[in-house]
Amino acid sequence: MKPTIFHLELSLAEARTAIAERIAPLEQECIPLTEALARVCAAFVFAARPSPSCDQSARDGFALATQPLFADQAVAAFHISGEIAAGCTEQKRLAPGQAFRIMTGAAIPTGTARVVPFEVCQEKDGKVLVPLAELARKQLHIRRQGCEVQTGQLLAAARTRLLPDHLLLLAENGCEEIVVHRQPRVAVICTGTELTQAGEPLLPGCKISGNGALLAALLQTQHCTCICCLTVEDNAERITALIEQIIDRDQPDLLISTGGMGPGTFDLTEQVFARLGGVSVYNRLRVRPGRSTLFGLLDKVPFFGLPGPPPAVRLLFHELVAPAIVRLHGEEHSGGMLKKAILDGPALLSQADCTVLKGAVARVDEEGRLRVRLADRLEPLNAILHLNGEEGELVSVRLIGPLA
């Protein structure tokens, strides 16, 4: 029996909210810091030690005692009593009248008043002569213990994606492991009797499936593991069996299907979803392309039923699937807020009751303004234009790649 399907229609913004409400961050795991790039912190990490770990010289120069050996009206003289290289682990001590040659990053000896760079000093007969003016400067050329990071300071907040800058801070603070959220494992099913696998002969009326390659690549850019990417014909029993098998065997954190989302006889995704006990959150959107698209939970597994045409798959992935993945990753800020940009080219038709999405290319002009134009048909996108029926000079765009 074909299950009855009710229409649950949402706007794009409502859909994004509804998805976010139903997806929780994946469980935590502890991994080596060396593998943590682009993973999402599951806990607040605070500094275990100060940085620098002790008072250090900020220059190659002389560490001078508070009192010179002698001084005239122009210069003060100090006896050069030794040298401290960076990495010297012995805590040295300056007696009055003494100076040590000291290198950038080396620990300041006890009794140091200031460091004076080599280039303003003069060496003579085992002494260093320093102009008096240098001894009056405010700049001591000493980096104080903890001036960069103090013990207990926040190094990485929970629910933050770890960037190279975070890894630097964490590594310098002695962090070797970090607790992050697990990476999402995503399964992809491309439905369509017309789909031919790459390498198989292309029969008349058929097409080579590109959605699998597209989604696998998009998932990779979102730091997911694509656990499988299967093609299946428009046959409700086969699609049902395939989904059951994937859920049982692979336990995906997210399932994405393409195709089979129209009102036609062979559009089976909703039917299969309902038959499997799936609970729809929406099955219609006030969005073009994407009017017929489904999101729901299938035995707790989030499920996106995307349309078949790859241009729609691409746009809806960025608008709906990517923020869901961000939530699974545990990231707090999904980023990708809509921005305002100047539209280059003629005004575009939009619909009052619906968001029209268009693939676009954004750039910053010579005056520092964000500008956007429609992408050519085969051109890679870096932005998605949102037409909402209320356009002035500025349009709304979502940036999805580096600016041209």
Site for a second copy in 311-340 (CB under 8 A): 314, 335-336, 339-340
CB-based burial of residue 112 (10 Å sphere; 0-12 exposed, 13-18 middle, 19+ buried)? buried
- Cα 103 from Cα 3, distance rounded (Å): 78
CA atoms of 90 and 34, how far apart (whole Å): 31
Select the span of 1-9, 125-133, 294-302, 393-401 touching a second copy (CB under 8 A). Answer: 393-401
Residues 287-316, one symbol each (x = binds a second copy by CB under 8 A, - = not), give: ---------------------x-x---x--
Q: Does 392 bind a second copy (CB under 8 A)?
A: no
DSSP label at residue 243: H
Distance CA 380, CA 362 (A): 11
Interface residue with a second copy, options 1, 27, 73, 265 (CB under 8 A): 265
Residues in region 222-241 near a second copy by CB under 8 A: 233-234
Q: Are the beta carbons of 366 and 327 closer than 8 angstroms? A: no
Q: Can you tell me which of 69, 158, 370, 374 binds a second copy, judged by CB under 8 A?
A: 370
Dihedral (CA of 375, 380, 382, 384) sign: positive
Q: CB-wise, 8 or 342, nearer to a second copy?
A: 342
Report the site for a second copy in 44-103 (rule: CB under 8 A): 49, 51-54, 60, 85-91, 103
Residue 169 three-state SS: helix
Q: Which stretch binds a second copy (CB under 8 A): 4-12, 208-216, 279-287, 348-356?
A: 208-216
Interface pattern 97-126 for a second copy (x via CB under 8 A): ------xxxxx----------x--------
What whole-number distance in Å separates Cα of residue 337 and Cα of residue 299?
Answer: 31
- Is residue 378 involved in binding a second copy (CB under 8 A)? yes
- Provide DSSP, 39-107: -BBSS-EE-SS-BSSS-EESSSEEEEESS-SEE-SSEEEEEEEEEE-TT--S--BPPTTEEEEE-TTPB
* Residue 402 is a binding residue for a second copy (CB under 8 A): yes
Which CB atom, from 43 or from 364, has the smaller least distance to a second copy?
A: 364
Residue 170 is a binding residue for a second copy (CB under 8 A)? yes
